[in-house]
């Protein structure tokens, strides 16, 4: 339609307003906009503005700022992690006092209040000045005074003939330790492991750039065997060259059992501060792994140099890995006064206690995001093993106060007895693996630790089951011995089967290797202490002889590729657990019971002794879970 212009007539706007009215309306509108905008700026944090305009997401409130400080992008721009939160600043990389100062000046500390227990723990760790945790006063003398036995036992009457044989055997094992150490020191000092054939070092990818795995793993064995000069060499390296400012991806489990475990036991044995301080600082670097929706840690932690770390990698966590932190983390709290470590493992315990378990069994894979089992594969060998071990040892380490761990252990063992324990046609008792109800009639070398574990737990079982568990432990240990005895080298394969004519033997070359593993001699040691049956020392000595014959090389000990070959090839690797575990358990097998008495110590899954906690310090709460 055509609108004609009439002189002197000011047309109304489409809404029928005249100019002054329009002006007034615009004025009002702009005032309103200014007011709203201003109000947004008055909100406590600019990230709230972002949230107002962004789609909802699962990120924990209050944590974005910390990521920004660390130079990270917001979570939506990251791949994983699913639920990021800041972790402790990498120890030694940031000056924590300076960081706290900067945060306070900028007012960030007030604005990033945590919103729940998990975040609270992270915040404490992130902002705690490391000096503070180092300055925590642990009463070392009090701890020593509560031990029931001298750490290295009491001297026995050396004139006894039988004792002198045992002493000679012990001396032989000590010589093997000295030989392993000296070759490592000569060819690979500071590297993670020795390669004895090529006479150089091996770094591997499990430790995120940390070095010296063999050194940390060896400290307590050197101390136990009174290899004093060697112990001093190892300690000097930890003091001067063990740097934590690394930035790779590490296995949470491996760093925990080898490094944290090794440092903790070195501290408890010697009282040397350097071990306590480094254990705590390294423990703080592991905390980012727990930043998942369930608090179940991922298997890999990223030590990002000079920044927060993020838990990354795979979609499920492994039972043996997240289930084998309890002992060390309680001691980190005990030695630092920082509750965060105990809180992390208490939460893992809670998730595992509450989750449904098929037939009472614990599958090996759990999603740290949903908290559900990922597959129904159950094993007392690899992937499951040390979870069960840490239940019974948590009970023992708590001076028998952690009844929750005790109950979980015996319930799990009942399910294992019912569904997994079998006897072969040839009369060998074994623990099979379970795949959704179907059994694999095999045992891994790793599962052979279970003889020792069941023996250790037998004493606190219900009266009517004690004898049964002692016998079960003995039978499983006998089966594991058979796996050694049936090979040409008298060393056992990585896995062995029971559903062919050749029982307790590997069925293919790919399972026929032996990499200096400790589990069989570990069980001999526990069974010896429980029964004093000389058969365990005899079997242990067979292993010593076989190691000497097949694994000793010119420059250290090496694993072998085929236990069924009378002249096996070497794998060119002296594993750090050979010094931490295999040689330690052998030495203890030929020692008196009061040397590292089981009344005073529990061994972590890398054979590092941690003391039974009889203190009544405030952080003991961690031990009562």
Q: Which is nearer to ligand DMJ, 283 or 559 (CB)?
A: 559
Shortest Å distance, C-beta 522 to ligand DMJ: 8
Q: Which is nearer to ligand DMJ, 339 or 493 (CB)?
A: 493
**Beta carbons of 532 and 526 less than 8 angstroms apart:** no
Indicate the residue whose CB is closest to ligand DMJ. 605
Q: Which is nearer to ligand DMJ, 94 or 328 (CB)?
A: 328
Query: Coil, helix or strand for 84?
Result: coil
Q: Which is nearer to ligand DMJ, 138 or 362 (CB)?
A: 362
* Interacting residues with ligand DMJ (CB under 6 A): 386, 446, 517-518, 577, 581, 605-606
d(CA 401, CA 395): 7
Query: Coil, helix or strand for 318?
Result: strand
Give the strand pairing for 365-366 and 317-318: antiparallel
From the CB of residue 305, how many other CB atoms can be counted at a distance below 10 Å? Answer: 12
d(CA 578, CA 516): 6
Q: Which is nearer to ligand DMJ, 75 or 250 (CB)?
A: 250
SS3 content of the chain, % helix, strand, coil (to 5): 50, 10, 40
Shortest Å distance, C-beta 517 to ligand DMJ: 4
Shortest Å distance, C-beta 66 to ligand DMJ: 34
Three-state SS annotation for 438-454: EEECEEEHHHHHHHHHH
Start-to-end CA distance of the chain, whole Å, equals: 83
* Closest of 186, 93, 26 to residue 554, by C-alpha: 186
Q: Which is nearer to ligand DMJ, 86 or 518 (CB)?
A: 518
d(CA 20, CA 159): 117
Shortest Å distance, C-beta 606 to ligand DMJ: 5
Cis ω before 81 (30° cut-off from 0): yes
The length of the chain is 625
Shortest Å distance, C-beta 315 to ligand DMJ: 23
Shortest Å distance, C-beta 573 to ligand DMJ: 13
Q: For the residues of 110-171, what is the DSSP string, one character each?
A: HHT---SHHHHHHHHHHHS-HHHHHH----HHHHHHT-SS-TB-----TT-HHHHHHHHHHH
Shortest Å distance, C-beta 504 to ligand DMJ: 18
Shortest Å distance, C-beta 328 to ligand DMJ: 12
Shortest Å distance, C-beta 301 to ligand DMJ: 17
d(CA 335, CA 267): 10
Q: Give how far Cα 81 sits from Cα of 71, 77, 113, 311, 609, Å.
A: 15, 11, 21, 6, 34
Q: Which is nearer to ligand DMJ, 217 or 562 (CB)?
A: 217
Catalytic residue among 119, 321, 404, 494: 494
d(CA 125, CA 601): 28
Q: Which is nearer to ligand DMJ, 93 or 254 (CB)?
A: 254
d(CA 22, CA 28): 10
**Beta carbons of 248 and 299 less than 8 angstroms apart:** no
d(CA 415, CA 94): 48
d(CA 592, CA 609): 16
**Beta carbons of 427 and 377 less than 8 angstroms apart:** no
Contacts of 78 (CB under 8 A, 6+ apart): 72, 84, 310
Q: Which is nearer to ligand DMJ, 363 or 381 (CB)?
A: 381
Q: Which is nearer to ligand DMJ, 181 or 449 (CB)?
A: 449
Shortest Å distance, C-beta 571 to ligand DMJ: 14
* Closest of 623, 619, 622 to residue 136, by C-alpha: 619
Q: Is 119 a catalytic residue?
A: no
Alpha-carbon torsion 579, 603, 314, 75, what sign?
Answer: negative
d(CA 135, CA 483): 50
Positions marked catalytic: 494
């Amino acid at each position: 339609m055509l609108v004609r212009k009439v002189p002197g007539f000011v047309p109304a706007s489409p809404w029928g307003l005249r100019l002054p009215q329009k002006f007034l309306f615009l004025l009002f509108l702009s005032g309103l906009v200014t007011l709203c905008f201003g109000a947004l700026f008055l909100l406590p944090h600019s990230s709230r503005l972002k949230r107002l305009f962004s789609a909802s997401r699962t990120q924990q409130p209050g944590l974005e700022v910390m990521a920004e400080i660390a130079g990270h992008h917001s979570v939506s721009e990251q791949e994983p992690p699913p639920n990021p939160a800041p972790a402790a600043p990498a120890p030694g990389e940031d000056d924590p006092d300076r960081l706290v100062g900067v945060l306070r000046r900028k007012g960030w500390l007030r604005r990033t209040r945590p919103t729940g227990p998990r975040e609270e723990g992270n915040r404490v760790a992130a902002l705690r000045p490391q000096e503070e945790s180092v300055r925590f006063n642990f009463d070392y003398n009090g701890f020593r005074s509560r031990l029931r036995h001298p750490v290295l036992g009491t001297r026995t009457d050396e004139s006894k003939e039988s004792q002198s044989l045992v002493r000679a055997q012990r001396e032989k094992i000590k010589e093997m330790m000295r030989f392993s150490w000296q070759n490592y020191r000569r060819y690979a000092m500071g590297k993670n492991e020795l390669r004895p054939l090529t006479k150089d070092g091996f770094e591997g990818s499990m430790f995120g750039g940390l070095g010296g795995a063999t050194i940390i793993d060896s400290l307590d064995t050197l101390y136990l065997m009174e290899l004093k000069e060697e112990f001093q060499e190892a300690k000097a390296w930890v003091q001067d060259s063990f740097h934590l400012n690394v930035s790779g991806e590490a296995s949470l489990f491996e760093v925990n059992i080898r490094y944290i475990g090794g440092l903790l036991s070195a501290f408890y044995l010697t009282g040397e501060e350097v071990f306590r301080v480094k254990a705590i600082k390294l423990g703080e670097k592991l905390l980012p792994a727990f930043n998942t929706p369930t608090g179940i840690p991922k298997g890999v932690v990223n030590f990002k140099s000079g920044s927060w770390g993020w838990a990354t990698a795979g979609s499920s966590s492994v039972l043996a890995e997240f289930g084998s932190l309890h002992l060390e983390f309680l001691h980190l709290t005990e030695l630092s006064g920082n509750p965060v470590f105990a809180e992390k493992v208490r939460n893992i315990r809670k998730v595992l206690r509450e989750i449904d378990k098929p037939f009472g069994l614990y599958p090996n894979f759990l999603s740290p995001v949903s908290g559900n089992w990922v597959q129904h594969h159950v094993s007392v060998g690899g992937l499951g093993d040390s979870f069960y071990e840490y239940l019974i040892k948590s009970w023992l380490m708590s001076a028998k106060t952690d009844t929750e761990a005790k109950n979980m252990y015996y319930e799990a063992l009942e399910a294992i007895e019912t569904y997994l324990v079998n006897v072969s046609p040839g009369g060998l008792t074994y623990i099979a693996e379970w795949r959704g109800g179907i059994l694999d009639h095999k045992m891994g070398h790793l599962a052979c630790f279970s003889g020792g574990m069941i023996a250790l737990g037998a004493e606190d079982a219900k009266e009517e089951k004690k004898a049964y568990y002692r016998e079960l432990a003995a039978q499983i240990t006998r089966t594991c011995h058979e796996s050694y005895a049936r090979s040409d080298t008298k060393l056992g394969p990585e896995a062995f089967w029971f559903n062919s004519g050749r029982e307790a033997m590997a069925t293919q070359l790919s399972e026929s290797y032996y990499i200096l593993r400790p589990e069989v001699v570990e069980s001999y040691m526990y069974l010896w202490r429980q029964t004093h049956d000389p058969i365990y020392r005899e079997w242990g000595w067979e292993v010593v002889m076989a190691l000497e014959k097949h694994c000793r090389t010119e420059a250290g000990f090496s694993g072998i590729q085929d236990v069924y070959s009378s002249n096996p090839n070497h794998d060119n690797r002296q594993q750090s657990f050979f010094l931490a575990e295999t040689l330690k358990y052998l030495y203890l097998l030929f020692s008196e019971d009061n040397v590292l008495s089981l009344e005073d110590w529990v061994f972590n899954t890398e054979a590092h002794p941690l003391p039974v906690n009889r203190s009544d310090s405030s952080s003991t709460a961690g031990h009562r879970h």
